[in-house]
């Protein structure tokens, strides 16, 4: 439970900085995707920046910092790897969305079912990416993860 | 004296817990999440029922808390604020996340059912409290709405899901045979 309290504390502390950085993060993502697709993409001036992407990075960092059972070096490495992966996932989602829009512009709209499937799958990273990446990088250091139940027999070490 | 080969000396890497079980859990978790979001997307009645249910439970709470509460289709007015209840306003996302975690975790079916039923109920109550809090913030401190909204919608939803999952894993570890 201490992990949970530390996570909540870090997530709360990081919420405001993430809100302030959301616009910059969105421009960074748009810039990256623009370079990849070779088309300049600009943020919609009429709407506020998407706060969820930057906040998800903050949530992920909070999870890493809360995992004090992991060595400090592993925690910081996980922070760096995770931020890169989360940024990559956001770019991949944006690229897929851009690809779908381009395809629709050329060949007409997709069937409603196909679009619903695409939107459903692209919504998974919005709330699941941070916890999933954390589970991969540092989840094994938490005692409440399913080590015991999925346990494989480790090679025995002889002290003789 | 027995010489210990360098490869078998304890180092931070070989003292670390194995990664395998967590990766198995992660793969199952992401699969269940994808399945859950697909069901929500492909069966529109799920979303409709969630919105209708949210409105049905939200209105009595708002009527108890504020005067002059009105509903027009999916829009709710209270405390001088009008909100439209859409899919993201319902507890569906939290329910999918928690259900995926419980279903992916290795435990017995009855314990999973208990976890799902209790978790869904708590998430529903949390969602009603979240919308009520947002109405208060929007009426009194509109400048703080963006921060409060993202904090309650994303940070707190994930925190509630993680907290419920942790509580449930404790229940599972108590019920597990030694």
**In-domain check, residue B138:** yes
Shortest Cα distance from B68 to chain A (angstroms)? 30
Alpha carbon of A30: minimum distance to chain B alpha carbons (Å): 21
Q: What are phi and psi of B58, to 5 degrees?
A: -75, -40
pLDDT in tens, A89-133: 999 988 888 888 888 888 888 888 888 888 888 888 877 899 999
Q: Nearest CA to CA, how far is A9 from chain B (Å)?
A: 11
Give the domain range for residue B100.
Answer: 20-173
The predicted model gives A24-52 an average pLDDT of 81
- All residues of chain B having their beta carbon less than 8 Å from the beta carbon of residue A49 are none
Q: Rounded CA gap, A53 and A37, in Å? A: 21
B159 assigned to some structural domain: yes
Residue B69 DSSP code = -
User: Could you give the ipTM of this predicted complex?
Assistant: 0.80
The secondary structure of residue B154, as a DSSP letter, is: I
Residue B163 has its nearest CB partner, among A4, A48, A59, at A4
Question: Could A131 and B40 be called an inter-chain contact, meaning their C-beta atoms sit closer than 8 Å?
Answer: no
Q: What is the pLDDT of residue B161?
A: 94
Residue of chain A nearest B27, judged by CA positions:
A132
Query: Per the domain annotation, does B1 fall within a domain?
Result: no
Q: Do B151 and A127 touch (CB under 8 A)?
A: no
Closest-CA residue of B relative to A57 is: B155
Residue B8 lies in a domain: no
Question: Which residues of B are less than 8 Å from A8 in CB distance?
Answer: 159
Residue A159 has pLDDT above 50, yes or no: no
Backbone angles phi, psi at B81, to 5 degrees: -125, 140
Q: Is B176 on the interface with A (CB under 8 A)?
A: yes
Min Cα distance A36 → chain B (Å) is 27
Answer yes or no: pTM beyond 0.95. no
What does the pLDDT read at residue B175? 64
Is residue A131 within 8 A of residue B162, CB to CB? The reply is yes
Contacts of A128 in chain B (CB under 8 A): 30, 33, 97, 100
Report H helices in A138-158: 147-150
Residue A44: pLDDT over 50: yes
Calculate the average pLDDT of chain A.
83
Please check whether residue B11 lies inside any domain of the structure.
no
Q: What is the pLDDT of residue A66?
A: 93
- Please report the DSSP string for A48-98 in residue order: PPPHHHHHHHHHHHHHHHH-TTS-HHHHHHHHHHHHHHHHHHHHHHHHHHH
- Give the residue ranges of chain B where pLDDT is below 70: 1-19, 175-178
How many structural domains is chain B composed of?
A: 1
Whether residue B144 is contained in a domain is answered as: yes
User: Does residue B140 form part of some domain?
Assistant: yes
Which is higher by pLDDT, B94 or A141? B94
- What pLDDT, on the 0 to 100 scale, is given for residue A7? 92
Q: Among residues A146, A100, A6, which one has the least CA distance to residue B103?
A: A146
Is pLDDT at A148 greater than 60 in this prediction? no
The predicted-structure confidence for A46-69, as pLDDT tens digits, reads as follows 666 778 888 899 999 999 999 998
Contacts of A59 in chain B (CB under 8 A): 154-155, 158
Contacts of B157 in chain A (CB under 8 A): 127
- Taking CA atoms, what residue in B is nearest to A112? B42
Mean pLDDT across the stretch A36-54?
A: 77
Is B36 part of a structural domain of the chain? yes
């Amino acid at each position: 439970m201490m992990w949970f309290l530390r996570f909540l504390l870090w997530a709360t502390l990081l919420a405001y900085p993430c809100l302030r950085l959301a616009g910059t993060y969105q421009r960074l993502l748009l810039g990256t995707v623009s370079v990849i697709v070779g088309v300049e993409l600009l943020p919609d001036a009429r709407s506020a920046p998407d706060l969820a992407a930057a906040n998800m990075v903050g949530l992920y960092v909070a999870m890493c910092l809360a995992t004090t059972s992991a060595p400090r070096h592993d925690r910081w490495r996980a922070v760096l790897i995770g931020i890169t992966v989360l940024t990559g996932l956001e770019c991949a989602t944006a690229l897929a969305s851009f690809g779908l829009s381009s395809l629709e512009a050329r060949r007409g709209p997709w069937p409603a079912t196909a679009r619903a499937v695409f939107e459903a799958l692209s919504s998974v990273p919005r709330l699941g990416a941070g916890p999933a990446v954390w589970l991969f990088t540092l989840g094994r250091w938490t005692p409440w993860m399913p080590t015991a139940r999925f346990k494989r027999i480790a090679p025995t070490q002889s002290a003789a | 004296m027995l010489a210990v080969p360098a490869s078998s000396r304890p180092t931070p890497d070989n003292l670390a817990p194995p990664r395998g079980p967590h990766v198995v859990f992660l793969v199952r978790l992401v699969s269940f999440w994808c399945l859950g979001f697909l069901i929500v997307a492909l069966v529109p009645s799920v979303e409709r029922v969630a919105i209708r249910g949210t409105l049905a439970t939200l209105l009595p709470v708002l009527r108890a808390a504020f005067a002059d509460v009105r509903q027009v289709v999916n829009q709710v007015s209270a405390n001088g604020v009008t909100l439209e209840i859409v899919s993201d306003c319902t507890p569906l996302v939290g329910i999918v996340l928690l259900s995926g975690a419980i279903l992916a975790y290795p435990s017995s079916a009855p314990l999973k059912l208990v976890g799902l039923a209790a978790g869904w109920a708590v998430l529903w109550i949390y969602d009603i409290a979240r919308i009520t809090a947002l109405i208060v913030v929007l009426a009194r401190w509109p400048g703080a709405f963006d921060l409060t909204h993202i904090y309650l919608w994303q940070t707190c939803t994930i925190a509630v899901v993680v907290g419920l999952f942790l509580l449930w894993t404790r229940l599972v570890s108590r019920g597990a045979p030694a």
